[in-house]
Amino acid sequence: MKLSVLDYGVIDSGKNANIALKETCELAKFAEKLGYNRFWLAEHHNISAFSTSVPEILISYILANTKNIRVGSGGIMALHYSPYKIAEIINTLQTLYPNRVDIAFGNTLGSNKVHRALKSHFEKNDYEKVLKDIREYIEHKKNISVCPSIKEKPEFFLLSNSEKTYELSRKIDFKYTFGVFPYMPVDMYEEVKKIENVDMLACFVVVAETNELALEFAKCLDVWMLGKNEFNEFKTYPSVEEANKYILTENEKQKVLENRKRMIIGDVKSVKKQLDKYVSISNAKELLIIPLVPNIENRCKSLEILANMYINKNKMIKMRKIANFLLIEKNDDIYTISMTAELQDDIGTIGYIEFTDKEKLEFEDIILDLEASKTVMAILSPLAGTIVEKNEAAILKPTLLNSEKPEENWLVKLKDVDFSEFEKLEDE
């Protein structure tokens, strides 16, 4: 089963759009390392907590900072814009990054306020003609050129949850993505049964290592999906603390219960069961995950859990970075720090070590002091985190740290590490 991501450029509590867009890029890079197939950007206007109002610019930004993952819109709201201009954007992206661009379209016009502000060119019944015009511009079937010209088209998708749009996708030969959206007051299991061939299934997924933690994260999505003030009740995406303090009316409690019928929430086992049911009913070839949970660390963890479910099965994801001649290996939530071979050679045979007494390390805190044949020095931590284990065997036998074997030469293991800080380190 292929996995992909639809990201909203979430601006978390205490952060701003500049940070959010950088975190979106970090999430894309992490998804690529985990083996995800695509990374899509949503288009949302006049929503303070989201930073993805112009996905076509963000697509170029993400493509420039990744190597292989496909990147696209999820989707461009085509009724707002000139088909000719959309064709120019598509061709430019495809020229810059051949065979890596996806373009998904939606037909939502948004609120009346957004519709008026964008001076939207079209109405809903124009959708088919708009899509055909875009394709004909790209295929040189109009009396005006689209520059740059392309030979290979990107992959085109329609994103919706209606039979009508599915039938349109077959008619114009676009792929089809069925969206399971919390705010749609229908039985999604019944709706997806009506679709003969779903290329990709999009779901809001709130997954964590325990059901209790997943339910905490889900509360943030619950209050967000109330959609008050055109989704501008919150200036940033609600934190767990804000969600826990939020007082729901009886009507809102009922709305939350209804919305939850169309969310995938739980621990690994529970989420796998729910997703597999949708996949079985829809015959979907790919899952498009919407990890709308607070904080980049939790979004990254969601992707990692799902990758272990479907891409890597029972194999844990490992990532390795280098900083100051130290090797840092991430395995699930544990970060193991050891010396590189270069540092081992430089310091010589180690005769004495003394670990720090601290349980928590800040950036560049001393991990240990050592005496070796070529030097006396302190090893500083490249990351802040909580020490879960020290290589105490090396206290009695310091030469273990000169070993080539990873199981012998490690220094400390950390947890509670800021993943974004780890991502900034140099790849091995």
d(CA 50, CA 413): 35
pLDDT value at position 246?
96
pLDDT value at position 187?
78
Band of pLDDT at residue 314, cut at 50, 70 and 90: very low
- 374 pLDDT higher than 50: yes
Q: Encode pLDDT of 163-213 as tens digits.
A: 899 999 999 999 999 988 877 777 777 888 888 788 999 999 999 999 999
pLDDT value at position 162?
86
327 lies in the same domain as 285: no
Cβ contact 13:237 at 8 Å: yes
CB neighbourhood size of 306 (10 A): 25
- 14 pLDDT higher than 90: yes
Indicate the number of domains in the chain: 2
Q: Encode pLDDT of 94-104 as tens digits.
A: 999 999 999 99
197 lies in the same domain as 337: no
Query: In percent, how much of the chain has pLDDT > 90?
Result: 78
150 lies in the same domain as 197: yes
43 lies in the same domain as 113: yes
- 284 pLDDT higher than 50: yes
388 lies in the same domain as 263: no
* Residue 396: domain span: 319-427
More confident residue, 32 or 181: 32
270 lies in the same domain as 335: no
pLDDT value at position 192?
83
pLDDT value at position 331?
83
Q: What is the DSSP string of 134-151?
A: HHHHHTT-SSS--SS--S
- 161 pLDDT higher than 90: no
Band of pLDDT at residue 149, cut at 50, 70 and 90: very high
250 lies in the same domain as 323: no
Q: Which of 160-164, 184-188, 304-308, 375-379 has the lowest mean pLDDT?
A: 184-188
CATH code of 277's domain: 3.20.20.30
Mean pLDDT for 128-139 is 94
Q: Which of 283, 314, 345 is the last residue of a domain?
A: 314
Cβ contact 338:386 at 8 Å: no
Q: Which residues pair with 73 in a beta bridge?
A: 41, 103
Q: Encode pLDDT of 382-414 as tens digits.
A: 999 999 999 999 999 999 999 999 999 999 999
Cβ contact 379:300 at 8 Å: no
d(CA 350, CA 291): 46
Q: Quick one: which H or E segment has residue 204?
A: strand 200-207
49 lies in the same domain as 166: yes
Q: Which of 29-33, 276-280, 383-387 has the lowest mean pLDDT?
A: 276-280
328 lies in the same domain as 247: no
226 lies in the same domain as 355: no
Contacts for 254 with CB less than 8 Å, ≥ 6 apart? none
- 424 pLDDT higher than 80: yes
293 lies in the same domain as 306: yes
CATH code of 339's domain: 2.40.50.100
132 lies in the same domain as 41: yes
Q: Encode pLDDT of 100-126 as tens digits.
A: 999 999 988 888 888 889 888 898 899
Peptide bond into 148 cis (omega under 30): yes
Band of pLDDT at residue 319, cut at 50, 70 and 90: confident
Q: What type of residue is 253?
A: K
d(CA 169, CA 216): 38
pLDDT value at position 313?
58
Q: Which of 314, 342, 367 is the last residue of a domain?
A: 314
Q: Which of 297, 314, 331 is the last residue of a domain?
A: 314
pLDDT value at position 109?
81
- pTM (2 d.p.): 0.77
Q: Encode pLDDT of 53-64 as tens digits.
A: 999 999 999 999
